[in-house]
Structure 1
């Protein structure tokens, strides 16, 4: 389930709760890893390589699971299936960029509390 306020998505895999979020740092890491903007990445994701999906998945998990590796991300994907993994990435991206009017706020996401 995704949290509109935090952009986080929680799901179960390999017998544990896993949290995915594409926060600002994750988006920057994705841009660095693939040397392209998020909008360019969207075009590439129409026919992605499996390695790209695994890396994006890992980056989405890294905030709450800082020791995650590509191999572990691949094991999670293997457990839940590639279709579900791709769906979770899409859902987490949508949660990362909510429409301001949908949340009733003037900003896309509220500022982080200090």
Structure 2
């Protein structure tokens, strides 16, 4: 079962439940894979930006890593396909859970 307090978002993948989470370790793996800081990488997903599928796939790969450390980029693509359009909601929830202080913060601080 997903634990939202720990930032876990439940999804189905290959007939099983998987908990997706953007943890410190998965963020570090994502930064290594992209050679970008997390803030720079997440800017690609801001409203009005055209997201590259390669970046979306990398994000879901990172989300899978805590529960499946051996997850591949191809498996992340398959997960996106299985989510059938629900990937935006799941990704947004995972990002907000990873950075709870940013949720609803419009103060610019």
Deviation at 1:2, TM superposition (A): 5.8
Q: Number of aligned pairs? A: 100
What is the Cα-based RMSD across aligned positions, in Å? Answer: 2.3
Q: TM-score, normalised by structure 2?
A: 0.78
Match runs of 1:53-64 below 5 Å: 53-64=56-67
The superposition leaves residues 10-38 of structure 1 with CA deviations (integer Å, 9 ceiling, x where unpaired) of 12233110111111111112222212222
Deviation at 1:58, TM superposition (A): 0.9
Match runs of 1:68-87 below 5 Å: 68-81=71-84, 83-87=85-89
Identify unmatched segments of 5+ residues in structure 2.
103-109
Q: Does 1:44 align with 2:44?
A: yes
Between structure 1 and structure 2, the one with the greater Rg is 1
Q: TM-score, normalised by structure 1?
A: 0.75
* Greater shift in the superposed pair: 51-60 or 39-48: 39-48
Identify unmatched segments of 5+ residues in structure 1.
101-114
Structure 2 residue aligned with 1:29? 29
Structure 2 residue aligned with 1:99? 101
